[in-house]
């Protein structure tokens, strides 16, 4: 049973990654005020990183080897939680963001290389979108580290990461309720970038998937 489950996770790593990110988005509010918030964050961040590493299994030996640098970031996340050192936390967030962007680019390449609209193409497209929302939250945290008043978010609030996630996703979906506002120029630039990505990504990806679908029908 466990063997089949593990095999299913390996074969559908993009879906596993998407589910893990969604779990973080929906579960964080229920533990953000807990004194164990750091422990829970480490567990969920580690699951996201492990799922990300698995997505490289279909990308060739060299990329799969490089993807294993995610294990280093897991160690850094643990070190940041144990030491509570601000510099370690900053370095961890930056490396985490860069690694997630790298994972997203890899999934995007997998989707583009797919010859038809299959589960790999669709799950990769969804994974990239969710990954970018997650990366947006990490980058927002980095901005807050350098400019605590960049957003209308309290950096001392235990739920600060959830608020960053919320801001990132409502921005890339161009919902923009206006309850969290970018106040400084760098924050406004980030908000513009996230909003542009959200619109352009959906437009381009839908066009690519429709093109692949029509191309597949013509070959039949």
Please give the pLDDT value at position 220: 59
pLDDT at 177: 86
Contact between 130 and 21 under an 8 Å Cβ cutoff? The reply is yes
Q: Note the pLDDT of residue 2.
A: 45
What b/e string do you get for 114-141 counting C-beta neighbours within 10 Å, with b at 16 or more? beebeebbbbbbbbbbbbbbbbbbbbbb
> How many domains does the structure of the chain reveal?
1
Q: What is the pLDDT of residues 62-78, one digit of tens each?
A: 566 667 788 889 999 99
Task: With a cut of 60, say whether residue 4 has pLDDT above it.
Answer: no
Read off the pTM: 0.88
pLDDT confidence of residue 32 = 74
Condensed to tens digits (0 to 9), the pLDDT of residues 37-66 reads: 888 888 888 989 888 888 877 666 656 666
Q: What is the residue range of 109's domain? A: 2-219
C-alpha distances in Å from residue 101, one per residue of 96, 134, 183: 9, 10, 25
Query: pLDDT by residue (tens digit) across 125-165?
Result: 888 999 999 999 999 999 999 999 999 988 777 778 889 99
Structure confidence at residue 187 as a pLDDT band (50, 70, 90): very high
pLDDT at 40: 85
pLDDT at 111 (0 to 100):
83
pLDDT at 58: 63
- The CA–CA distances, whole Å, from 130 to 127, 145, 204 equal 5, 23, 16
Q: Residue 69 carries which DSSP code?
A: T
> Per-residue confidence at 8, pLDDT binned at 50, 70, 90?
low
Which segment of 51-60, 92-101, 144-153, 193-202 scores lowest on mean pLDDT? 51-60
């Amino acid at each position: 049973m466990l063997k089949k489950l593990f095999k299913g996770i390996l074969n559908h790593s993009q879906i596993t990654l998407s589910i893990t990110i969604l779990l973080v988005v929906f579960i964080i509010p229920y533990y953000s005020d807990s004194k164990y918030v750091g422990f829970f964050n480490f567990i969920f961040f580690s699951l996201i990183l492990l799922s990300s590493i698995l997505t490289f299994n279909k990308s060739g030996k060299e990329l799969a080897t490089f993807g294993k640098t995610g294990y280093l970031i897991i160690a850094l996340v643990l070190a940041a939680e144990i030491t509570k050192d601000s510099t370690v936390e900053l370095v961890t967030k930056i490396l985490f963001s860069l690694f997630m962007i790298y994972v997203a680019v890899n999934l995007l390449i997998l989707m583009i290389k797919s010859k038809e609209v299959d589960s790999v193409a669709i799950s990769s497209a969804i994974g990239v979108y969710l990954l970018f929302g997650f990366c947006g939250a990490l980058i927002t945290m980095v901005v807050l580290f350098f400019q605590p008043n960049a957003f209308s978010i309290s950096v001392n609030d235990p739920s600060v990461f959830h608020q960053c996630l919320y801001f990132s996703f409502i921005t890339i979906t161009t919902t923009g309720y206006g309850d969290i506002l970018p106040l400084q120029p760098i924050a406004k630039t980030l908000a513009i970038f996230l909003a542009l990505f959200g619109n352009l990504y959906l437009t381009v990806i839908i066009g690519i998937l429709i093109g692949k679908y029509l191309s597949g029908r013509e070959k039949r």
